[in-house]
């Protein structure tokens, strides 16, 4: 069942985190944080079935390599409490009519709409379910800065105009990644002639840097996504700065 689930937050140095560790964890790869020499290696995890970095048109293709992109981010961010990445998780459909190629295309459309279209680079990682679980999900890590006009370096300024509108701790409906990703999926299903639609029962409040509420009202697949999210929270120390 396709469900409407998404959450977005920041990866911040204020929480003891860093861009390389998070990229390595999501990508299930080995990466080195150049500023400290710290090595992160999650290649032993085997659930990542697709990895890609998307950049805006005109940006140097070297930024399509994770280590290049995120080490550039680490250099660009000078503050000890810098927000390094936008971290977004979106549920993907697990219906039998949908294959990996479909999920990749849906993921690219979501990433383009939420981030690339706004001038940001984004790392995509699709994680497959374990065993009998049905929690196909997309991880996206986006830069908090755009690029200079020549596409060779990150902008010296934060892309504040791309931040969602926050009121009383919640992302407003028009900016909700859950709403946007659901519409993209529904459009894709219609385009492919599939009798599928994202289930609105899976809607969760888009809390900004806060806990997800109403857990007892979630669909099972939404609960699985949240379980993954909570597991990542418990594992933050694996990629914290030393």
What CATH number is associated with residue 207?
3.30.930.30
For 70, phi and psi rounded to 5 degrees?
Answer: -80, -25
- The pTM of the whole model exceeds 0.75: yes
Is residue 240 assigned to a domain?
A: no
The SS3 assignment for 173 reads helix
Domain count, the chain: 1
Range of the domain at 230: 6-234
Is residue 1 assigned to a domain?
A: no
Contact 27, 125 (CB under 8 A): yes
**58: region left, alpha or beta (phi > 0 left; psi from -120 to 50 alpha):** left
Q: Cα–Cα–Cα angle for 162, 226, 50, nearest 5°?
A: 65
Q: Which residue has the higher pLDDT, 191 or 4?
A: 191
pLDDT in tens, 63-86: 999 999 999 999 999 998 899 999
Is residue 242 assigned to a domain?
A: no
Is residue 239 assigned to a domain?
A: no
**18: region left, alpha or beta (phi > 0 left; psi from -120 to 50 alpha):** beta
Is residue 176 assigned to a domain?
A: yes
Per-residue model confidence (pLDDT) at position 132: 75
């Amino acid at each position: 069942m396709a469900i409407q689930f998404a959450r977005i937050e920041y990866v911040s140095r204020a929480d003891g985190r860093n861009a390389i560790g998070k990229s390595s964890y999501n990508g299930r790869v080995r990466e080195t944080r150049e500023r400290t020499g710290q090595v992160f290696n999650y290649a032993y995890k085997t659930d990542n079935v697709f990895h890609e970095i998307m950049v805006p048109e005109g940006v140097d293709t070297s930024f399509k390599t994770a280590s290049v992109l995120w080490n550039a981010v680490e250099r660009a961010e000078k503050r000890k409490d810098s927000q390094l990445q936008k971290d977004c998780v979106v549920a993907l459909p697990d219906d039998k009519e949908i294959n990996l190629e479909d999920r990749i295309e849906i993921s690219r459309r979501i990433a383009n709409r939420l981030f690339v279209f706004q001038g940001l680079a984004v790392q995509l990682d699709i994680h497959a379910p374990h065993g009998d679980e049905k929690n196909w999900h997309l991880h996206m890590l986006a830069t908090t800065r755009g690029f200079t006009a020549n596409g060779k370096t990150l902008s010296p300024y934060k892309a504040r105009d791309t931040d969602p509108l926050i009121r009383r701790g919640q992302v407003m409906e028009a900016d909700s990644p859950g709403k946007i990703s659901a519409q993209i999926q529904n459009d894709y299903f219609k385009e492919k002639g599939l009798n599928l639609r994202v289930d609105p029962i899976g809607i969760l409040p888009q809390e900004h840097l806060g806990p997800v509420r109403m857990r007892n009202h979630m669909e099972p697949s939404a609960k699985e996504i949240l379980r993954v999210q909570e597991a990542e929270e418990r594992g933050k120390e694996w990629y914290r700065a030393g």
